Amino acid sequence: MIANPNEIPIADNHIHVDPVNGDGPVKIAKLFYNAGGRVMIIPNKPSWSINDNFNFKEAIDLGIRNVEEINQNTSVKAFPICGVHPAEYSKLLKNGKSFEEAYKLMKKALDYSAYLVNENKAIAIGEIGRPHYEISEEELKYQNLIMKYGMELAKDVHCPVQLHTETATEDEFREFALLADEVGLKREKVIKHFSGAYITEDENFGLTPSVIANKELIKKAINKGNIFLMETDFLDDKTRPGAVLGPKTVPKRTLDFIRKGIFSQEDAFQIHEKNVFKVYDIEI
């Protein structure tokens, strides 16, 4: 077991667990803890990981149960995020649903997510947004409506959103910031999941970047400032090994960077404690 000498509440801001296709919540949380990790922010997996009838509620409920299992059986503090992945919309269309029908189903899943946040059963809405692959103009119009709807709900229940989108540059950060302004959601409550090192305000327009815990990216990020979160986007899917970073990456990277003086203690507490507390309003 790797020590975390100052008990920095090292947090992975976007890590999945999957009891059906992967090692599951408890095993992954133990790996994470033994590498020095303490906090896991866990968005539910898409519905297709457990059913093929687009039962979004079932996928969201499983996400909540996974987090409960971690909190009951390990020393990790886990928090659930609920939502409906933009790729679900594409799949609904492929399955023969009209743009409108699919839109209604997506909205229903988002309503349920907001309900859970309101009941204090989840801490944010996500991952929502736009697909990372090419889509038609018409689909894009609807994907944007769904993203906006998710932001409106987040504003109503006072929580952040985690955005999954195409690779974002300053242009997209600006676009999402303006969308947040339009619905009245604070810009900092918009978390860009799978972000590059967009750290300064003139790069991210006040959004909260959740930077992939890749060595070079985190080095680049910390050279610009310490207002960001760290994540792996680990999928816990045995059919896609190595698709993303492993579950131990955030604690390993953090502790290694402290040892090497790339992160100060203060940086580590800022990233993992203060930034997490500020965006989610949770006490660790």
Which residues are at the interface with Zn ion (CB under 5 A)?
Answer: 233
Residue 89 CB, nearest approach to Zn ion (Å)? 16
Residue 109 CB, nearest approach to Zn ion (Å)? 16
Contact between residue 162 and residue 191 where contact means Cβ atoms under 8 Å apart: yes
Pick 74 or 210: Cβ nearer Zn ion: 210
Q: Each residue of 200-220: b (16+ CB within 10 Å) or e?
A: eeebbbbbbbbbbbbeebbee
Pick 172 or 257: Cβ nearer Zn ion: 172
CA distance 249 to 240: 17
Residue 210 CB, nearest approach to Zn ion (Å)? 10
Pick 48 or 99: Cβ nearer Zn ion: 48
In this chain, which residue has its C-beta nearest to Zn ion? 233
Cα dist. 221→8, 157, 209, 227, 263 in Å? 19, 31, 10, 9, 11
Pick 37 or 63: Cβ nearer Zn ion: 63
What does 248-274 look like in DSSP terms, one character per residue? THHHHHHHHHHHTTSS-HHHHHIIIII
Residue 226 tokens read as 């310490």
CA distance 182 to 145: 13
Could you give the residue ranges of the DSSP H alpha helices within the chain?
25-34, 56-73, 86-94, 99-118, 137-156, 170-183, 201-204, 215-222, 249-259, 265-269, 275-280
Residue 113 CB, nearest approach to Zn ion (Å)? 15
Residue 14 CB, nearest approach to Zn ion (Å)? 6
Pick 233 or 263: Cβ nearer Zn ion: 233
CA distance 84 to 129: 9
Pick 172 or 233: Cβ nearer Zn ion: 233
Residue 233 CB, nearest approach to Zn ion (Å)? 5
Pick 88 or 233: Cβ nearer Zn ion: 233
Peptide bond into 127 cis (omega under 30): yes
CA distance 234 to 213: 11
Residue 70 CB, nearest approach to Zn ion (Å)? 17
